[in-house]
Structure 1
């Protein structure tokens, strides 16, 4: 696919997704309880076949889905994205038994997935995580089949879909003092003994919580990928999903831009329409310029991922950074041009204003993305010398 344009079938599919989001998904989203998993909404995403596409399509299709859904229903977009984020490590690194047990249920919306990487003292610095996977004797009471090889002890924090998910992709330290090289990924069902969680009251409407691991038993059958190589599992997942976080942001920015175009074209002020004021027209042009630039970078990064390019980490970081910062700018300017009406509860821009802040932090804050970009640039320079 060309990196910088959509072909007619893709454009038609995006229009269909926007219509589905507005007509079938938004009503379900509005019935959901903020801060809790909306299982009816997830099930509908499964019925529409969108969750299945998480495992059968590439990064470009993922971005198309996330941008299109975000434009009309951010809750549906987030529900889809969280299913993908939590289950992608199973799809990419799971054993046949793990995949057979969980992926069909994720795809039909009957099992909720979660990606458990961040910790209270290791959010942006993921390589510093401290959740311990300690080898220990097996306890015959309430053990997984085959007995425990490790016990997970510690906490995870800021975990989307926690504590209501049905299983978690958990990253734990199997080798102390080894940094990123001593982390292992585990698939941990929510019903394991010793695993508890608490929801957090956050600005974003989707569920986010903490997880507490009190000697939670896991076995070799729960490992995703290889022991001590779990950081690669995490970074591989983030390299796929970071451009699509950018697509989510672009969808919100486009929704804010379109709302602003409609408002300024009809709003009477100072003896004419708002759009006739040069200061307003130039501001709208700047919003459109930045939105399109972000969109191009997102789809260029997604195309690079699908083609197996060597510079995916840099491109993914650039796409997420530019798009999320752009969306924050565009939504803020849209609020400014709408005035006080945009701050009323229930207004589209009031909703977007709350939603747009978090993507600059999760899956690597903007500062982390800048660090990744710089690291990759210097590594490329050194390799060329």
Structure 2
């Protein structure tokens, strides 16, 4: 796809009247909607497009929502509801624009949460301006959902340097980022208690990030290889051995926003289906005249709204300071329901388009490929089910 498909309609914003949101959130969307509609980015080359989107988002000020105000951000603290609304709106227009925005937040989130003043001053303002591209490097070939299995090691090579060895894979913005927040084993204790986080610059000697991965919906992904990569001890994020907790805290902020991205894609699929049903003629009527079509559109709408309410609730709970367990359960519920429902909605929209739906260049065809990864990354559906199941047993 070289340019976004013609707009079928502006996304419905009735949800902004819900008590989860305030005037600042409504103003945010009021400004973001016309801006997204004015953007025309050639997405044929996903890496070039991502750079373009980061630059545009930075220049327009939208990346300021990825960092706190003390470091050039738009709000005093990271606001989950703002992140949710930004991702939902961007994903409606372009899933790649959403990806570019989200990775700036996720890639720098650990610095926001645990960085010292020097680290925050160096990286966060540049992320907010779109001058530096961030990445979050947690996953390994044998350590995805099982974070305790991380094998990448950071050993003290000298009093002032770590020597980093290991492999990270499925890293978003890999080969594109200016720096990586890398989680590695520093050996304070077995399992998750022996993990730490470090900021590793892309040009660090011993780091190879050029093994790009090709996936069904083009996104910048790569495998990172660390071969005696030397990193200063001043790159350590937070306390040594605190990496696992930091990774969970970072994901906790952004997991509801994954659900929001799914919402944006589902809302676009519904808009495309409505537009198609109104103009497609068959048997002397439009597709929209048939009750079967109306029933399907109704089901799609209900699936979207169910995911939306869970998503907004999860973001609101985090912003309101709810207990950690409650926030984690809400985020898991939102991520699971919104992504699974979005997959169903997009599939129904494609089916409604008939043969046109599987033609490359049709918006629902690209959405069909874009949505699939959201049911996997930042905790697969099965992981969310386990979180909720364990919580039910404990309750």
Superposition TM-score, scaled by structure 2 size: 0.89
Find 1:254's aligned residue among 267, 289, 305: 267
- For 1:232-247, what aligned pairs fall within 5 Å after superposition? 232-247=245-260
Find 1:369's aligned residue among 384, 388, 394: 384
Deviations 1:59-91 (A, max 9, x none): 000001000111112211110000000001111
Q: Does the Cα contact within 8 Å between 1:317 and 1:372 map onto a contact in 2? A: yes
Q: Does the Cα contact within 8 Å between 2:279 and 2:286 map onto a contact in 1? A: yes
Q: Does the Cα contact within 8 Å between 1:66 and 1:247 map onto a contact in 2? A: yes
- Measured in 1, the distance between the counterparts of 2:24 and 2:118 equals 36
Deviations 1:271-317 (A, max 9, x none): 32222222221111010001011001000000001011111111111
Q: Does the Cα contact within 8 Å between 2:89 and 2:264 map onto a contact in 1? A: yes
- Measured in 1, the distance between the counterparts of 2:252 and 2:43 equals 33
- Measured in 2, the distance between the counterparts of 1:219 and 1:129 equals 21
Is 1:104–2:125 an aligned residue pair? yes
* Alignment root-mean-square deviation, CA: 1.8
Find 1:121's aligned residue among 126, 132, 142: 142
In structure 2, runs of 5+ residues without a counterpart are 1-15, 68-74
- Measured in 1, the distance between the counterparts of 2:317 and 2:258 equals 16
Q: Does the Cα contact within 8 Å between 2:20 and 2:316 map onto a contact in 1? A: no
User: What residue in structure 2 maps to residue 141 of structure 1?
Assistant: none
Q: Does the Cα contact within 8 Å between 2:135 and 2:174 map onto a contact in 1? A: yes
Find 1:50's aligned residue among 62, 83, 91: 62
Q: Residues 32 and 96 (structure 1 numbering): CA distance in 2 closer, same or farther, change over 3 Å?
A: farther
- For 1:156-235, what aligned pairs fall within 5 Å after superposition? 156-175=168-187, 178-197=190-209, 198-235=211-248
Find 1:131's aligned residue among 138, 152, 160: 152
TM-superposed CA distance for 1:220, in Å, is 2.8
Is 1:272–2:255 an aligned residue pair? no
User: What residue in structure 2 maps to residue 336 of structure 1?
Assistant: 351
User: What residue in structure 1 maps to residue 7 of structure 2?
Assistant: none
User: What residue in structure 2 maps to residue 72 of structure 1?
Assistant: 93
> Where in structure 1 do 4 or more consecutive aligned residues deviate above 6 Å?
none
- Measured in 1, the distance between the counterparts of 2:28 and 2:202 equals 35
Residue range with higher mean Cα deviation, 266-275 or 49-58: 266-275
TM-superposed CA distance for 1:236, in Å, is 0.6
TM-superposed CA distance for 1:32, in Å, is 5.6
Q: How many residues align?
A: 368
- Measured in 2, the distance between the counterparts of 1:3 and 1:307 equals 15
